[in-house]
Amino acid sequence: MLVQQRSSQIKGFTLIEILMVIVVIGFMVAAVQLNFFSNKSEQQVTEEATRFAGMFNLAADFGLLNNIEIGLYVEENSYQFLGYDGSRWTNLPNEKTFERYTLADDITISLSFDGLAPEENTLVDRELFIPDEEQVSAMEDALEKEQKLIIPQVYLLTGGEITPFKATFATTEQNSETFSINVIGKFYTPVALEQQEQVQNN
């Protein structure tokens, strides 16, 4: 009887927990690879870009498994993943993993979309998600006091499609060279890191 009670209390891992373990392992692998870099700024940029790619893929899987539209909102030194509740974009409930993340000092992130999308509209065309004035007004009315209206720049649909984008992580040090890494997303996950770039400043 005691054995039965103990066995009934044993719980397995959820799929999202397993995915989190995979992301953590990815971070550990990236950390090992960072030992080959001599420049601290390059290490940080590589680490931040690797983390972003892992979190983006995890967010896409989360949205797919839970049938939730996910949006990526990027500022100069931070990013976060939001869910659409039918009226506005908001933090995913009970999912602190996807809340606003601030990059390490002296590192910025920027998004670009030029040349990544086809000429014809697709389900993930950014133009289809830009709300008009009436929709913006409705979203603002749904906000609680002191909340900020956030409209994502990249969208992750429940069917697995994503807005094509390029996220560039770069150092902001005032020296002769700027180091950057691109994370490329092309319609479907997983996103991938592009070769490191070393730019000579004038």
pLDDT in tens, 72-109: 999 989 999 999 887 778 888 888 889 999 998 889 99
Domain boundaries, the chain: 10-200
How big, in percent rounded to 5, are the helix, strand and coil portions of the chain?
Answer: 35, 30, 35
State how far the alpha carbon of 134 is from the alpha carbons of 71, 86, 137, in Å. Answer: 20, 15, 5
Worst-scoring range by mean pLDDT, 61-65, 81-85, 105-109, 131-135?
131-135
Rounded to the nearest integer, the mean pLDDT of the chain is 76
Joined together, the tokens standing for residue 184 give 């490329």
**Mean of pLDDT values over 2-20:** 58
Distance CA 164, CA 144 (A): 32
The superfamily CATH assigns to domain 10-200 is: minor pseudopilin epsh domain (3.55.40.10)
Q: Say whether pTM exceeds 0.85.
A: no
- CA-wise closest residue to 139 among 149, 153, 127: 149
- CA-wise closest residue to 157 among 186, 194, 123: 123
